[in-house]
Amino acid sequence: MARYFDVHPVDPQRRAIGQVAGIVRDGGLIAYPTDSCFALGCQLGDPKGIERIREIRRLDDKHHFTLVCRDFAQLGQFVQISNQVFRSVKAATPGQYTFILPATKEVPRRLLHPKKKTVGVRIPQHTAAQALLAELGEPLLSSTLLLPDEPEPLTQGWEIKERLDTALDAVLDSGDCGTEPTTVVDFSGPEPEIVRRGAGDPARFE
């Protein structure tokens, strides 16, 4: 059964955040809120966590996982970024965007797109997510909590706990959460390509 942590949306309780971070470090899979709906998250180098996310969402090996980072400095450790792209991404973070970029050697091979050697990265503007990332000191390997054959992501912590109780180790809830997935922008080619239109305004990249 998943443990349920209900934290304050503005000042999340440090003890609860620390317990959730401990579950992640011990190989646990969690659901946590972001500024663009709930996400599934596990430790960066955890192969079992990846497989559990694939199983819940029924994903194939071409799915881009996302490294959810605390800040731009952390993001820069995991992707290769030109000066021009740097300016575009910097201006849109933190926010409701995921950027697909060429990965550095810091990223485990199993996380990469099999042909492009790219990975998704984002920096959320969400208090509870930021508190968890600060406590972990490293990115969360994540994927939007969108269940197979359902058009909308799950946005209520209690419902996630109810429906995925045996599939997760913890649910972090802070009451406030976005209801739409991120806008996804692929910067791995010569021109930016909008792969998914979502919560972030795509106009700045068109």
> In this structure, how many other beta carbons lie within 10 angstroms of the beta carbon of residue 69?
23
pLDDT for res 65: 86
The one-digit pLDDT tens for each residue of the chain (206 residues) are 999 999 999 999 999 999 999 999 999 999 999 999 999 999 998 999 999 999 999 998 778 789 999 998 899 899 999 999 999 999 999 999 999 999 999 888 878 777 788 999 999 999 999 999 999 999 999 999 999 988 888 889 999 999 999 999 999 999 978 789 999 999 999 999 999 999 999 999 98
Distance between CA atoms of residues 6 and 12, nearest Å: 9
Closest Cα partner for 132 from 51, 70, 206?
A: 70
Distance between CA atoms of residues 5 and 30, nearest Å: 11
Closest Cα partner for 167 from 57, 5, 36?
A: 57
- Residue bearing tokens 């300016």: 87
| Exposed/middle/buried for residue 145 (C-beta within 10 Å: 0-12, 13-18, 19+) | buried
pLDDT for res 28: 98
CATH class given for the domain over 3-205: alpha beta
Three-state secondary structure call for residue 174: coil
Contact 164, 57 (CB under 8 A): no
pLDDT for res 60: 85
pLDDT for res 113: 76
Q: Give the domain ranges of the chain.
A: 3-205
